[in-house]
Chain A
Amino acid sequence: MRFKTDLKNVRTFSKLTAALNSLEKIAWVRLDDDTVRFTVIPDTGSQVWASLSVDLIFDNYHIESAEANNTINFELPLGPLQRALKSAVGSSYANLRLTKRDGLPMLSMTIHTMTKDGNGPGPGLGGPNRATTTANADPDAGLLGLPSSTADFTQESLELTMKREREKIITQDIPVRVLHPDTVETIMQPKVREPDVHIQLPPLLQLKAISDRFTKLAVTAASSSGNTRGGGGGTGSGAGGLGGSSSPKLTLSANMHGSLRLRLTTETLDITSVWHGLENPELDPTQLAVPLEEHPSTVFKEAGPDRWATVRVDGKDWSRVLSVGRLEGRVIACFADEHALILYVYVPHVDDVGMEDVVTYYVTSFSA
């Protein structure tokens, strides 16, 4: 079993890792000849399937496996990966390979990099400033007071600033657990019926800021009216639908006429944000299982702008999902009314205009 590759677009890789890491600590990675797939499936919360073509983030990619279709499956902790990628951002060269250390499998990242700002003079307690402000005008000052070694220090530091900075080679070993194909073949990507509404989301930073604000308001509202609800006993079902204290639910709706609605209702407040003029991308009839005119979205479109497809999401989970906005790709949301919400996040290739990869979010939704 061999895997070795150079890294490219480290920033994209790093952002993707950060987005995944906000949902779950460990990812399942599946590599084959042309795809690298990251999957996170949290116990509770939204799951992500990121299928990327190898050349989005890898270069000089080599894979060799005895398993069918030349695949390698392993579990990878995202925190250490993110930390390692941070070292690789801005590096001159980085590669990744599967190896073993002390008998344990490791994903080893080798990075050639410089330190951030070299030996440039910096602010601090040293330097000539200090000398002029605190040194008394005593000609003998240098000879008194300090152990003799101090004199050496000043000389050395002068020399040092002349030195050219060298490239450092950093090796980051991330522990992994190689998975047998049998253990992963049962994990299936979720199946969803044809969506009723598909719509391009507004800029995620905006959507996230407002969603987070709603979530915080729900928590505040719940805690301020908490006294009247009678202590911490909390009948779960009652609190949940109303945006209870522990996990406020946001209601998301969209229509086939360019509108997206975000709504929060609690006992004490009811707030709504609506976006208009968003795009409902057109479907490609050749790729549909049903004729376009019979597709649910056509039905919704004909029903007019008052026909909304609605799902309820958990405020905190939704916030973690929206963290994918850091990838700065277009996001298409697919609503199956009262059933499911899926986000498709398009990650453009930096060096191949027009090429895109897709990260799919299966957002956890709740019944009313």
Chain B
Amino acid sequence: MGRYVIRRLLQAIPVLVGTTFLLFATVYALPGDPIAALGGDRRLDPQLVARMREQFHLNDPLLVQYWYYIRDIVSGDFGTTFRGVPVSSLFQGKFQVTFQLSITALVFEAVIGVGLGLWAALRRGRWQDQAVLAFTLLLVSIPTLVSGFVLQLVLGVKLKQNTGIDFFPVAGIQDGMRSYIVPGLVLAGLSIAYLTRLTRTSLMETLRADYIRTAVAKGLPRRRVLGRHALRNSLIPLITYLGADLGTLMGGAIITETIFNLPGIGQQLFQSVYLRENAVVVGIVTVLVLVYVLANLIVDLLYAVLDPRIRYE
């Protein structure tokens, strides 16, 4: 097991190199000159421009620039922006906000999605099942932009006005964990729908399995057949989805962060792409890729726990 973990972590290295290089190359290929952009409407002193281009190795070929970047990353230096701010200082606290938001969303997704999915599967073909399916369709059709603003208005403003309940903060992170409830729900929306459907299908498929028939023939109570024999087997495919989704949630948090004014990494990423701050963009993505790789590693390890047929040597 230990060797497997180490091997998997080593496998992450080529993944990281590949993704960072692709990103580096994409930002490199963007039109416009980031140094010239620093001056805004003013023309900058050509000498200064030349010096900065030299300082940031902008005259070197792509591969050389990339090499410098990777060399610094390995020694823990994320570099500085063109304005001279250390990139790592831009990350301060922001990853934490995004991570907390994504984890909140993931919890909502797991609880609501799995719960609804199981419920629907057990009432397959009846109105409850149809209602859950219709609900997921609705969730998929509402863009985050809409659900975000609507929930902000309903839970944050109207609820307070009409009932005096002031439980759901809908802007900023001053209220600690509570600040993440509504944003987390909004961010989870689409994933809840997918996971609900996946859970429903997975349990229905498990229930058709021969070993479920065996469990019934053993005279076990229905509760036990479902809770013991069916549940664990139907969870296995869901874990994969949840693991992969953590990365998606973190990368896709930008709209939610903007609506709810959360100082997360999404906004930083958007700004940096806009300003062509190569070092920042690639830095952020490097961390996201790491999160993704780790989440998938955890999924694979969980897999082995849930399904004894999978063993890692």
**Chain A complexes with chain B:** no
| Residues on A facing B (Cβ under 8 Å) | none
